[in-house]
Structure 1
């Protein structure tokens, strides 16, 4: 550290299996975020006397929705032409190098795609098990920021998705790329998500579980408003964004903020005192 500057040159790979399959901090932090979110969600289910077997089924749907949605979102929001030419790389953790394919892990996940994927997965879950859509979404929304925070910590460990130069004597130098002090936007997002998680938990306790879309609305509004602001300090992810007034992350965030505000201001407060999730 020098005059407020942190020099960051962390190896993102913890170790590799047989020298071929790398185990990275990003993957470890992603899994940790999901585990922590699951434990918080279990406490919510116990508090409301909902069978944990319901959550076990829901968790599988959510995982599939996050991974598929985030991956497809990155491929088709940010690099559609490349992945249309290389369709195998969309859902397989490989990349074409010269005339062969190499295992690289999934390089590129989009939070907007993950959000859409989770919502679609929950729609399918609710239809299959005949549960209340907003009830499930409100409770999943509470823990969503935890996963987002751990993903951004993973981005920091990878020295990726970082910010623009700070033009000052402070910032983080991601030495794997250059020697320029930059905004650590991964940390800006991570800590903002943890703050939002605290706000959502406060609302949950104040409303005593009678939310009816409120927490989902607050989540969408706060998370994607934060994303819009932080993107002004972040380097563009792909070249086509350089000539845009708002980058792709900001453009995709705007409709989600609008949906969040609609949910907040149009929700109907339940007239009954207890909301239950129907047992599958």
Structure 2
């Protein structure tokens, strides 16, 4: 069993103002994504410039925060919202959902596309390889905050989390940081280095994240107030990943099919 590193979740305190590591990790993630997107924007014929990248990061950040909060309320604690609608705005109590954040980003992408006259999938294909960076830093923030721990386990690297009771648990935040963050980033970054059919990069992100998240959920502790959903073993996170995987696979197929049809017409 490993010892959980006792790190103060508050990184900086200035009077009544407290800045948590979780928030700083989001800032680091967006900053790294910005730098990598600018690098790709500077490539010949990228169709992007530095100012557009900055605006896309801003739109995406708003989508993550607003969508993440709305998603958590809708997907994970809707009865509490019905009892107290103002709880939706109690962001200081925590509670963010990746799937809600994803929906928020998609809305932001739609609005960004209308403003800058870019197609929806040209934006998502450009930005998708950078999303895992935020997932990586965000999960590290979860680990530092001692939240979203795994299920009880006797593996050698299990840890006792301060808020998770006296028994050792899987450090599932680190599993997600590795798979949804580092591994998925490498897959998407390498795959997108060459021109791919429209929608293919976006679809690969959805499939990759869905598969990795679905897998880690087998060792991640489900929310106490929800427990297990379908069939008595599927968690809410797994249930939300299924449509992601199916939709991602569908748009990859359509992307390559449309690309082949266009190539055939040009060759005719």
TM-score by length of 1: 0.85
Q: Is the 8 A contact 2:33 2:130 kept in 1?
A: yes
1:116 aligned to 97, 100, 103, which one? 103
CA distance in 1, matches of 2:40, 2:157: 41
Deviation at 1:34, TM superposition (A): 0.9
The runs of 5 or more residues in structure 2 that have no matched partner are 264-268
Equivalent residue runs for 1:45-84 within 5 Å: 45-47=41-43, 48=46, 50-84=48-82
- 2:6 is matched with 9
- 2:199 is matched with 213
TM-score by length of 2: 0.89
- SS of the aligned residue for 2:222 comes to coil
Aligned pairs, how many?
255
CA distance in 1, matches of 2:162, 2:89: 31
CA distance in 2, matches of 1:32, 1:8: 21
Whichever structure has more helix as a proportion of its residues is: 2
Residues 174-228 of structure 1 deviation map (CA, whole Å, 9 limit, x = unaligned)? 13433322111100000112111111111111x23x4301111110001111111
Q: Single out whichever of 229-238 and 82-91 deviates more from structure 2.
A: 82-91
CA distance in 2, matches of 1:125, 1:50: 13
Q: Is the 8 A contact 1:9 1:176 kept in 2?
A: no
CA distance in 1, matches of 2:253, 2:197: 12
- 2:189 is matched with 201
Across the aligned residues of Structure 1 and Structure 2, the Cα RMSD in angstroms comes to 1.8
CA distance in 2, matches of 1:66, 1:170: 32
CA distance in 1, matches of 2:57, 2:185: 19
C-alpha distance 170-63 of structure 1, shift in aligned 2 (>3 A): closer
Q: Is the 8 A contact 1:173 1:180 kept in 2?
A: yes
C-alpha distance 15-60 of structure 1, shift in aligned 2 (>3 A): closer
RCO higher in 1 or 2 (8 Å CA, sep ≥ 6)? 1
CA distance in 2, matches of 1:170, 1:29: 24
- SS of the aligned residue for 2:253 comes to helix
The runs of 5 or more residues in structure 1 that have no matched partner are 94-104, 273-280
CA distance in 1, matches of 2:108, 2:133: 19
Tell whether 2:25 aligns with 1:35.
no
- SS of the aligned residue for 2:4 comes to strand
Tell whether 2:17 aligns with 1:21.
yes
CA distance in 1, matches of 2:156, 2:182: 27
- 1:166 is matched with 153
CA distance in 2, matches of 1:117, 1:228: 21
Deviation at 1:10, TM superposition (A): 2.1
1:264 aligned to 226, 233, 252, which one? 252
Equivalent residue runs for 1:222-233 within 5 Å: 222-233=208-219
Q: Single out whichever of 109-118 and 231-240 deviates more from structure 2.
A: 231-240
Equivalent residue runs for 1:173-184 within 5 Å: 173-184=160-171
